Amino acid sequence: MSGEYVSKLIERATAFLEEAEKASNADLAMFFVEQGLQLYVKAVYYELSGLMLRGRRLRELLGTLAKALEEHGYAQVAEKLVEFVDDNRRALIMIEESYIMSRYGEFGYSRNDVEKALHVAKRLRSVLEEVRRNVKLG
């Protein structure tokens, strides 16, 4: 089941991110980016630990993943993830906020916001794929 579950989450995450690139509505695109990244982090965490990660705040999910990596002796990998979060804090906050703001907020997102979010999303996926290749916790 675990391999199937990880594959399904990654498939969904990829679909959300692909739809974000195609969406003509910037608010909807931002929501798709947030959903895609959230699922991707949860898939990686589950693949490494066998545990389902709860919550939706992207920086918190990444922090939980980094902490698990560090606790299992992968301090360098954890540090790389923490540095990514630090370096991309503003964009990650915007992506997190889009979970609510894209649907209920008083303002909308621009195409420029979406492009920034997609750029960060691609870089984060790359970092997470590196984690998947180099780390085995269970």
Phi-psi region of 66 (alpha: psi -120 to 50; beta: other; left: phi over 0): alpha
For CA atoms 45, 51, 53, 59, give the dihedral sign: negative
> In terms of DSSP H, where are the helices of 23-110?
26-49, 58-71, 75-87, 89-104
- Report pLDDT digits (tens) over 54-79: 988 999 999 999 999 999 999 999 99
Domains of the chain: 2-134 (1.20.120.330)
- Report pLDDT digits (tens) over 8-51: 999 999 999 999 999 999 999 999 999 999 999 999 999 999 99
Model pLDDT, residue 137 = 63
**Count of all residues that appear for the chain in the document:** 138
Pull the structure tokens for residue 4: 């199937």
CA distances from residue 23 to 10, 15, 106 in whole angstroms, order as listed: 20, 12, 20
Pull the structure tokens for residue 102: 């894209």
Model pLDDT, residue 38 = 97
| pLDDT band at residue 134 under the 50/70/90 scheme | confident
What's the pTM value of the predicted model, to 2 decimals? Answer: 0.93
CA distances from residue 44 to 55, 62, 103 in whole angstroms, order as listed: 14, 10, 27
Model pLDDT, residue 1 = 46
- Report pLDDT digits (tens) over 111-132: 999 999 999 999 999 999 999 9
Model pLDDT, residue 3 = 85
107 pLDDT above the threshold of 80: yes
